[in-house]
Amino acid sequence: MSPYPEFEGKTIEKAVEKACETLNISREKLKFDIISYGSSGIFGLVGVKKARVRVTSPVAAPKPVPEPVPENDGKKESPHKKTVPSREKFTSQDAHKFADGDPLKLGTEALQRIVDFITTDAKISVRETPERIFFNVEGGNTAVLIGKRGQTLEAIQYLVEKIINKHNAERIRIQVDIEGYLDGRKAKLESLAARLSEKAKRIGKPVTLGQLNAHDRRIVHIALKDDSGVRTQSMGDGFYRKLVIFPQRRFPRKKEPVSSALNDQ
């Protein structure tokens, strides 16, 4: 073992306790530097980091690992005997603490907590239909919550959906909106689709929309599905793909036969 070993724990105190137990040294005599305070992340799904300390004075060989103690020998069980990964413990506690398994309550609490990490004074409203649960965020820094082309909003929705479905046997579909952003985005995409459709028909060549997520591509596909003059197709791989609007091929008109009257002349 290095004379300056490092130890991890859910908190600094847990890491220090682990160091004391492993090195057989009292808390008062242990000298250490804090490398990381750790982070519980968001509902244990992302950003989880353990606290880490480094012992700053040379240490002797670690204490031998004791033999397991039988369960019914009358001795008190060591608090360090059983450990639970912070991710599972944190997620389970939050599920019961906040929502008791109710997807509406769980989603609202999860979304509120995520939003509170990003901005302040934001409130959540929720409504449910047979198809999905709709969450709407009002207030706070909406530009930051939405992000460039709605990418932050997509990430937030992804997290909330994962949290809800982690505690439900059947998949529940959700939608997270921020002050009507998605309705405005839909209107803009439908208008853009109509303009580019006319351009593709006018120039007789395909027209490409930039990288779009699945939700935005679906809006364009639906907007142009009844336009017989064009067809749409997603191109590329991954979550963000290009959408191409192709003009339908027009067969050349057949030449009309020359009239017999002209042939007689």
Tokens representing 131?
């198809």
Q: What are the backbone angles phi and psi of residue 125, rounded to the nearest 5°?
A: -120, 155
Question: What percentage of the chain carries pLDDT values higher than 70?
Answer: 72
User: Quick check: 66 and 136 in contact, CB under 8 A?
Assistant: no
Q: What is the mean pLDDT of the chain?
A: 79
Task: Report pLDDT digits (tens) over 190-239.
Answer: 999 999 999 999 999 999 998 888 889 999 999 999 999 999 999 988 77
- Which of 5 and 59 is assigned the larger pLDDT? 5
What single-letter amino acid sits at 40? S
H or E segment at 178? strand 174-178
User: Quick check: 7 and 15 in contact, CB under 8 A?
Assistant: yes
> How far apart, in whole angstroms, are the C-alpha atoms of residue 187 and residue 223?
10
Residues in the chain: 265
Question: Helix (H) and strand (E) counts for the chain?
Answer: 8, 9
Q: How far is CA 23 from CA 14, 36, 79, in A?
A: 14, 20, 17
State how far Cα 47 lies from the chain centre: 12
The domain covering 185-247 belongs, at the CATH homologous superfamily level, to R3H-like domain (3.30.1370.50)
Instruction: State the pTM of this model.
Output: 0.54
The domain locations on the chain are 6-55, 86-179, 185-247
- Sign, CA torsion 44/48/53/59: positive
* Per-residue confidence band for 69, with pLDDT thresholds at 50, 70 and 90: low
Tokens representing 31?
């000298």
H or E segment at 135? strand 133-139
Count of CB atoms situated within 10 Å of the CB of 18:
16
- CATH class (in words) of the domain with range 86-179: alpha beta
Of 43-47, 50-54, 91-95, 125-129, the one with minimum mean pLDDT is 91-95
Q: Would strands 122-128 and 207-212 be described as parallel, antiparallel, or unpaired?
A: unpaired
